[in-house]
Amino acid sequence: MLKQTLLKAVEAGAAQLTHFFNGEFKVSNKEGINNLVTEADHAAEKAIFEVIQKEFPGHYLLSEETGEVIQDSSFKWIIDPIDGTVNFANGIPICCVSIGVEQDGQMILGAVYNPILNELFFAQRGFGATLNDKIIRVSDKTEVIKSCMVTGFPYTYLDEPNGPLEVFTKLIRNGVPVRRLGSAAIDLCWVAAGRFDGFYEHKLNAWDSAAGFLIVEEAGGRVTDFEGKPYSPYQPHIVATNGKIHDELVAVVNGGELRNL
């Protein structure tokens, strides 16, 4: 029942994303330059809430636009109605609906749906990860220097040692291809599918990564914070990889050098 409701919820949100994509809609700005929220974000969130609250009215909800709908429940739905809003607002088809389901503090289900590219990623803890119902696995690269990486940059830039620009510069100056897609949920899913070998970011919110990190883990990858500790979506730092380059990438984001140079 949870799985079916999750899939219905991401489909309901995706229907709104598709409806508004490349159309006319109202756009406003949140904290920071170009940190957008659109009419479509609110419409997608409303559609998602309606599906979940019809089936599970007592469940706790945490969503990017509304915030917390607090309930005394062991289940929490963590929702990003449109991840990649700047892409969406500019007609760039790298955007998605992302929903994770947590039970007693453990993520048990995750779904990320990009209807523009017709890609639905799904994972259930202990049962693997799929893309459009086909099993996916992470890549087998063993060195960062030979990997294809992806990252993102926060809207409110923090000038800190080994910050986003410093790590990015280190990687690209050493010839490592690093992409910036603009959707953390899709970044994570593309690591899970083996398209990227690793992803790191300095400042995420729970709704950015809740579904995606489970999808990576269930595809055979590894996800931690910057200290290499088990990942929690309630802290800002993330490193997600195929597992084979993980320790090296953690070292790099903490100021270390790449191997085999």
What's the helix, strand, coil split of the chain in %, to 5?
30, 25, 40
Tally of domains within the chain:
2
Gap between the Cα atoms of 136 and 220, Å rounded:
9
Determine phi and psi for 25, rounding to 5 degrees: -160, 160
Q: What is the CATH number of the domain that holds 229?
A: 3.40.190.80
pLDDT for 158: 62
Is 261 within the bounds of a domain? no
pLDDT for 208: 97
Q: Which domain holds residue 216?
A: 144-253
Contact between 181 and 88 (Cβ < 8 Å): no
pLDDT for 67: 84
What sign does the dihedral 254-170-238-152 (CA atoms) show?
positive
pLDDT, tens only, 11-52: 999 999 999 887 676 665 666 555 666 788 899 999 999 999
Question: What's the pTM value of the predicted model, to 2 decimals?
Answer: 0.94
Residues 112 and 148 in one domain: no
Residues 123 and 172 in one domain: no
Residues 109 and 20 in one domain: yes
Which residue ranges of the chain lie beneath pLDDT 70? 23, 25-37, 156-159, 261
Q: Name the pairing type of β-strands 198-201 and 178-179.
A: unpaired
Gap between the Cα atoms of 222 and 138, Å rounded:
10
pLDDT for 13: 97
pLDDT for 224: 98
Gap between the Cα atoms of 232 and 17, Å rounded:
28
pLDDT for 66: 85
pLDDT for 34: 57
